Amino acid sequence: MKIMDCTLRDGGNVVGAGFPADLTTLMLKGLTENGVKIIEMGNCAGLGMYDKGVKAPCTDDEYLELAKPFVDKAEVGMFLQAGVASPELVAKAAKAGLKFLRVGINAGDGAKAVDAVKMVKAAGMKAFFAMMKAYVLSPEELAKEAQLLEASGVDVIIIMDSAGMMLPKQAAAYTKAVSSAVKIPVGFHGHANLGCAVANAVAAAENGAQVIDCGLMGMARSAGNIATETAVAALDRDGVETGVDMYGLFRFIDLELAPAMKPYGYRAPAMPLDVVLGYSGCHSHYIPAFKEVAEAKGVDLYKLIIETSKLDMKKPSRELMEKVAASLN
């Protein structure tokens, strides 16, 4: 399973139309250092939209410059609305070293995006495709459109639950239908409006999805995206390998990203400690004792909780915590 992080595009909605340069670099560094291999960045509305009045803190050229140190560490790309695509715009992205552009258009309008897909392919980049508002079609209709897009040269198709309206059974049905209809990888992009984002990601993964589209700390417009760190943990619990350093991602959020987002008034619905409790089955009642032992023994709190809970989720004793801490050292 590949994790595609779009915090630096969709997540920018929590601060305006995109992130400033310092936060952009911070997240590019944190993501690449912790094994996230596909990253979408730039103006929230996509490449070319700054000049059409969507004023992010950086221009497209400035975002492309910020991406350059990271384009050899991950597949870095940008979003491209099909209606604004031009050979010149696409060529600029390719020249900057981007590995993909994600062409986006509403489900049912795929035929109108074929020219944009061909521009991306002609420039030597991968063409990802966002089937926005996927739920306006039936799973069978969406699968048929996916075949058209595959034939046009699309490399990866992402099913977008743009309003966060899907339940897990719907995420499963749409993913199964599309992944059965095409040979290219299929992904799922969810929103948390009904609280089903992570459950939908797991359902999609169990029904053929090879890419899960996420945002750090759940950052995105409206109720937010599938949280990257929670998706990594939930998928791991379900036996799905993502290649992402879960503990490293937790540390990055706790020590760097969460403090950087405080001035913007943003806090994740579930912070890394909350995710660890869910991942491990540890009741929050035991947090004070775990913190005391972790500090006294100089071990990672999250590893201590997880490893101790493997032995006793019901009523872990301080003696057990200390024994596990010694083994971690």
- The DSSP string of 100-113 is EEEEEEETT-GGGG
- Block mean pLDDT (10 aa), the chain, length 329: 98 97 98 98 98 97 98 98 97 98 98 98 98 98 98 98 98 98 98 98 98 98 96 97 98 98 96 98 98 98 98 98 96
In the prediction, which pLDDT does 329 show? 86
CB 305 within 8 A of CB 275: no
Instruction: Provide the number of structural domains found in the chain.
Output: 2
* 273 in any annotated domain: no
What whole-number distance in Å separates Cα of residue 179 and Cα of residue 146?
9
Q: 317 is in which domain, residue-wise?
A: 281-328
Any domain includes 274? no
- Residue 73 domain-assigned (yes or no): yes
Q: Tell me the Cα Rg of the chain.
A: 20
Do residues 207 and 175 make contact, with C-beta atoms less than 8 angstroms apart?
yes
Please report the pLDDT score of residue 235 as a whole number.
98
Query: Is residue 65 domain-shared with residue 174, that is, in the same domain?
Result: yes
Cβ neighbors of 295 (< 8 A, separation 6 or more) are none
CATH number reported for the structural domain that contains residue 172 in this entry:
3.20.20.70
In whole angstroms, give the CA distance from residue 212 to residue 306.
24
Nearest to 184 by CA among 209, 214, 206, 213: 209
Among 213, 231, 264, residue at a domain's last position: 264
How many other CB atoms are there within 10 angstroms of residue 116's CB atom?
25
Q: Which is it for strands 75-81 and 186-189: parallel, antiparallel or unpaired?
A: unpaired
Q: Are residues 65 and 132 in the same domain?
A: yes
Q: Are residues 95 and 196 in the same domain?
A: yes
User: Is 270 part of a structural domain of the chain?
Assistant: no
Last residue of a domain, one of 212, 231, 264: 264
pLDDT number for residue 246: 98
